[in-house]
A and B are shown apart, each in its own frame.
Chain A
C-alpha cells in the first residue's frame, strides 16, 4: 500500500524564488494494481519522493510500513528502498557500470537479498525480461539501447520489490506481460510515469500542482 496524504512540494519555500510543484496531493496505490501517472514535468518527482531522494515540504507519504515526511530521519533507509524498484527516465546517465554482471549483483549485495542464490536470481530475471546475453562476460558499452533498457529494468526487479516505478516504457510484449503478471498475480504495485497510452487500472493526471484521477 502506498498513500500520499496532502503532499506539497515547494522548492525554496517562503523565499523570493519559491517554486511550487505539488499542492496537497492525495493519491492511493493499492496492492495488485497497475497505475499510470501523466501530466506535466513534475510527475517525475513522484518516484524521487517515494524513494526519499527528496522530502515533501508538507504532508506525509505512507510507503508500506514507513511514513515519509519533512525532516523525518530514517535510520536504515535501505530497509525501505529494498522494497522499491525505481527506473528513472534518465537511467543511462545515472547508472555507471562496465560489466553487466555488476548491474545485477550490486543491488543484491547492497540490500543483502538472497546473495547465496545470486546466479539463480539473475538467470531467472534475464529469462523473464527477455534480455538474453552472457551476463558474466558482456560489457555494457557493446550493447544496444534496448538491451540496456531491459538490463536496467531486470536489475531493479531482481530484489523482488513490492513497488515498481517505471519512468520509461518500450514497446515489448514480454516485458508488458511480465509486469502485468507481477501486478495481478503476485500483488505488486506497478506505477508507470509518462504520457503513454496504456491499459492500467487507474490513471492519475498531474497538472497545475494538483492531481485528478481517471478510472479506466
Chain B
C-alpha cells in the first residue's frame, strides 16, 4: 500500500522537536547545499546530519523511496543534463544527491509534523516579517488553511463521492478515464464546499476567543496551561500534539548548531 504524504502518528524523537526548528533545518540545508562556491565535504557533512534526522524519525525508508520514485524522471533528466554539460560526473552525482536529500528532509518534516504544528512553525518564522501588522489570528488561520488544502480537499471530495455513490452514481468502480473526468467535474463543487469549511473554521476560532499569541505563550508554561480542548473540533486533534512539541528541547539546538556550524565553516572558507 502506498503511504500518503501526511502526518504519521508514532512516537519518535523527531516528532517531539519544535516545528519552527524543523523548518529552519530545511532552510539551512538548502542554503549549505545550494550556495555558490560549493565545498564538497560540507555537503557530505550536511547529508550525514540529514541521515541522522531520518533515522531518528523512525519512518520506514521505503516511504521516502516512494516519494523519490515519483521524482525519478526529473532526477534522471537533471543528471543527464548536468553530466553532459559543464559538470564532472562526481559533481553531477553530488547535485542529484543534494536534491534527493532535500526531498527526504522535506517529506520527513511532513511525516513528523501535524498541519497545526507546521502552521505554528511557519507562523513563528514569518511573524517578524509581518510589518503590515496583519491580525495574528487571521495570519495563522490563513497559513493553516493553505497547509491543510490537500487534506481538506481530499476530505470534502470523499464526502461528495460517497454522497453520489449513495444515490446510485457509480464512481469508484468506473474505468480510469471516466474517474478522471468525474474528479475534474467535481473540482468547483469541492472548492465551494471547502470554502464553507474554511469559513466555519474561521468563525468558530474567532468567536471562541482563540488568540494564537496567548496560545503560544501558555502552552510553553505547564502551570499556566489553558483548556484548548475545543480546538480539536476544528483541527482534527492536531492541537493535542502541538501542546508538547511547541517547547524547545536540547535536541532542537543540537541539530540547529550542527547546521549553523557547517554554515560558519563555509563562510570562513569562502572569505
Contacts and interface: CB of A to CB of B under 8 A. Distances in A.
B60 A94 contact: no
A12 B169 CA distance: 28
A88 B162 contact: yes
Q: DSSP majority for the B interface?
A: loop
B9 A17 contact: yes
Contact of B59 (A16, A88, A109): A16
Interface string A146-167: 0000000001100100000000
A94 B10 contact: no
Contacts, number: 63
A26 B193 CA distance: 37
Contact of B159 (A12, A86, A93, A155): A93
A66 interface: no
B59 to A, nearest CB: 7
B234 to A, nearest CB: 15
Contacts of B162: 48, 53, 88, 94
Contact of B189 (A17, A73, A96): A96
Interface string B1-24: 101000011100000000000000
Interface residues of A, number: 30
Contacts of A17: 3, 8-10
Interface string A78-100: 10011000101011011110000
A96 B162 CA distance: 11
Max chain A C-beta neighbours (<10 A), residue from B9, B168, B170: B168
A98 to B, nearest CB: 12
A51 interface: yes
A155 B160 CA distance: 17
Contacts of B170: 77-78
Max chain B C-beta neighbours (<10 A), residue from A15, A48, A159: A15
Nearest to A109: B168
Contact of B167 (A12, A16, A53, A110): A110
Max chain A C-beta neighbours (<10 A), residue from B3, B165, B189: B165
Contacts of A110: 167-169
B74 to A, nearest CB: 27
Contacts of A101: none
Nearest to A90: B159
Contact of A78 (B8, B58, B168): B168
A64 interface: no
13 contacts: A15-B3, A16-B59, A17-B9, A48-B162, A51-B165, A51-B166, A53-B162, A81-B166, A86-B166, A94-B162, A109-B168, A110-B169, A155-B167
Interface of B: 1, 3, 8-10, 58-60, 159-160, 162-163, 165-170, 173, 189, 193
- The 8 lowest CB-CB distance pairs between A and B, nearest first, are A110-B168, A94-B163, A17-B8, A111-B168, A107-B167, A95-B163, A106-B167, A77-B173
Given A12-B3, A94-B163, 6 more contacts: A53-B165, A73-B173, A86-B166, A93-B163, A95-B167, A109-B168
